[in-house]
Amino acid sequence: MLPNFRKAVVSGIQKHNSRLFSSSQTSARKGLVLGVYEKDKDDKSNKVLLTEAAAAFDKSVSGKLSEILTVSGPPLKKGKSRMFYGLHQDFPSVAVVGLGQKGAGVCRKEQWDNGKENIRAAVAAGCRQLQDLEIPHVEVDPCGDGQSAAEGAVLGLFEYDELKRKKTTRVTPQLYGSGDDKAWEKGVLYGEGQNLARRLMEAPANHVTPTVFADTIEQKLSPFSDRVTVYKRAKPWIESEQMDAFLSVAKGSEEPPVFLEVHYTGSPDSKQPPLVLVGKGVTFDSGGISIKPASGMDAMRADMGGAAAVCSAIVTAAALKLPINIVGLTPLCENMPSGKANKPGDVVKAKNGKTIQVDNTDAEGRLILADALCYAHNFNPRAIVNAATLTGAMDVALGSAATGVFTNSDWLWEQLHKASVVTGDRVWRMPLFQHYTRQVTESALADVNNIGKYSRSGGACTAAAFLREFVTASHWAHLDIAGVMSNKDEVPYLRKGMSGRPTRTLVEFAAALASGS
């Protein structure tokens, strides 16, 4: 039987190849991603543990999928994929992906849901294999969690090639089967939200200036104009608001600053206090007069990662029609060295009247956030959450494993942490001790110093302590996302490049607040 079976497989491959090179059928080619679980170590049988959708497919091909999996090699490990051809006339190419142990759930040590992460990684691997075959239409097994499967597909297929002549094959992932449509659609929106942030972060700084960034977000929110109001504040307004710390950074560049203010009114109770999200929007950071080393400076096109994540989260919240009110605030500018730029030792004044000694012009993000955080209090916020690629020290402390969270609120920390367990885009709480506050408030020339007196020690913590000087709200959190700004190979369902993290965690956090959980 086995030789005959192998002949059938070879015949299937030949049929597939003939279709592959048939121009008349190229546009109709379809691929399929199906899931398979790892067996328990004690299970010595040859039985393959297929997902519900994979089992239904196997039945439709008279058990050929199960049979071929038993002879095609060792059992599939989680996150790995294997291609088969000619099994089904509607799906000439089938990628079977390993989901790990069935029933895997939240892991307290890893602080995420293993099952969801396994699905995201496996589906992404399968979709990419089909993309490499230039198959434009792919259907995906929900693998028991349609949202995670959709996120894996949408995130895994993204690649920034907008400025290249040779494009990666555009793949349209769709749900295979039925019954998980709402979860799938939700996952698509979560994935597309993070991909918007990735696209903004990846684009060159001469293509995404402060003005272009603001225009892009306005365009993305235009379909939701019944619920969203966008204000693009120019320099005269910024001056009238006495945001001199923000302007002191912007004045070093020829690009005009923009203060982007977005109001999403999703709650039926228009008087409900809003969640205020604040994002650092430095569209290119040279370091200013305290200029950065040339090596790696090109990555500073993504120093607006906080603004990208915040704005993309609001776009996603609007698409999901979350019943919550959100205000998004993003001060947008470049940090460049020029005759007008801040000089080390300069003193500037923030919106709340506090003076700031600027001892390092490369610590500019906290200057623009200081004014934005002061302004955020005008909205009587339910909570304020700011996100910023703020310090290299955060990357040193946590690397790309998690976003560092500094907060004055246990409740807010718990909400952010719960959201991150669901998304797999983890957060980790960092200290806000008075020990760090003293280091930024003991300044020779001003009320606060923008780097603290021990500049190399606890840099992420002193930066957070600096921001706290401009916050009076009871529920505030600062997310330092410098360590998670880019991805090499740490997150298997993201390609190398800018990550767009933690967009999905912000969306999940807002969704939980909206539901009252």
Which CATH number goes with the domain that contains 242? 3.40.630.10
Number of independent structural domains in the chain: 2
Q: Using the Cα atoms of residue 43, residue 48, residue 50 and residue 56 in order, give the sign of their dihedral.
A: negative
- The answer to whether the beta carbons of residues 424 and 112 sit under 8 Å apart is yes
pTM listed for this prediction: 0.93
* 418, part of any domain: yes
Strands (E), 359-441: 383-388, 403-407, 427-429
Q: Which domain holds residue 175?
A: 2-179
Same domain flag for 120 and 210: no
101 bridge partner residues: 38
- Long-range contacts: 289-292, Cβ < 8 Å, 24+? 289/252, 289/337, 289/341, 289/342, 289/343, 289/344, 289/361, 290/344, 290/360, 290/361, 290/362, 291/337, 291/362, 292/362
* 382, part of any domain: yes
Residue 391 to residue 306: CA distance in whole angstroms: 12
N-to-C CA span, the chain: 57
pLDDT at residue 56 tops 50: yes
Residue 363 to residue 211: CA distance in whole angstroms: 22
* 184, part of any domain: no
pLDDT at residue 421 tops 80: yes
User: Which residue would you say has higher pLDDT here, 193 or 271?
Assistant: 193
* 228, part of any domain: yes
Phi then psi for 97, rounded to 5 degrees?
-120, 145
pLDDT of residue 453: 82
Assigned token pair, 367? 């200057």
pLDDT of residue 270: 77
Residue 371 to residue 324: CA distance in whole angstroms: 25
pLDDT of residue 5: 42
User: Which residue would you say has higher pLDDT here, 121 or 40?
Assistant: 121
Q: Count CA within 13 A, CB hemisphere, residue 186.
A: 16
Residue 432 to residue 434: CA distance in whole angstroms: 7
pLDDT of residue 517: 59
Same domain flag for 141 and 285: no
pLDDT of residue 19: 43
- The answer to whether the beta carbons of residues 476 and 385 sit under 8 Å apart is yes
- 80, 102, 251, 292: the catalytic one is 292
Mean pLDDT (the chain) is 93
Residue 345 to residue 322: CA distance in whole angstroms: 46
Domain boundary among 148, 179, 210: 179
Same domain flag for 211 and 125: no
pLDDT of residue 452: 85
User: Which residue would you say has higher pLDDT here, 45 or 146?
Assistant: 146
Question: Residue 273, preceding bond cis, omega within 30 degrees?
Answer: no
Q: Is 366 part of the annotated catalytic residue set?
A: yes
Strands (E), 303-368: 325-335, 346-349, 355-358
Please choose, from the candidates 127, 118, 148, the residue with its C-alpha nearest in 3D space to the C-alpha of residue 504: 148
334: left (phi over 0), alpha (psi -120 to 50) or beta: beta
Domain boundary among 147, 179, 211: 179
Same domain flag for 322 and 223: yes
* 45, part of any domain: yes
Same domain flag for 10 and 114: yes
Residue 460 to residue 161: CA distance in whole angstroms: 33
pLDDT of residue 178: 79
Q: Reduce the secondary structure of 356-381 to three states and give it as a string.
A: EEECCCCCCHHHHHHHHHHHHHHHCC
Domain boundary among 156, 179, 202: 179
Same domain flag for 137 and 78: yes
pLDDT of residue 25: 47
Residue 92 to residue 514: CA distance in whole angstroms: 43
Tokens 């104009």 appear where?
225
* 186, part of any domain: no
Tens of pLDDT, residue by residue over 147-202, are 999 999 999 999 999 999 999 999 999 999 877 899 999 999 999 999 999 999 99
Distances, alpha carbon 392 to alpha carbons 66, 318, 389, 470, in Å: 50, 33, 8, 22
Same domain flag for 174 and 263: no
Percentage of the chain surpassing pLDDT 90?
A: 87
| CATH of residue 164 | 3.40.220.10
397: left (phi over 0), alpha (psi -120 to 50) or beta: alpha
Tens of pLDDT, residue by residue over 335-352, are 999 999 999 999 999 999
Residue 52 to residue 151: CA distance in whole angstroms: 19
pLDDT at residue 131 tops 60: yes
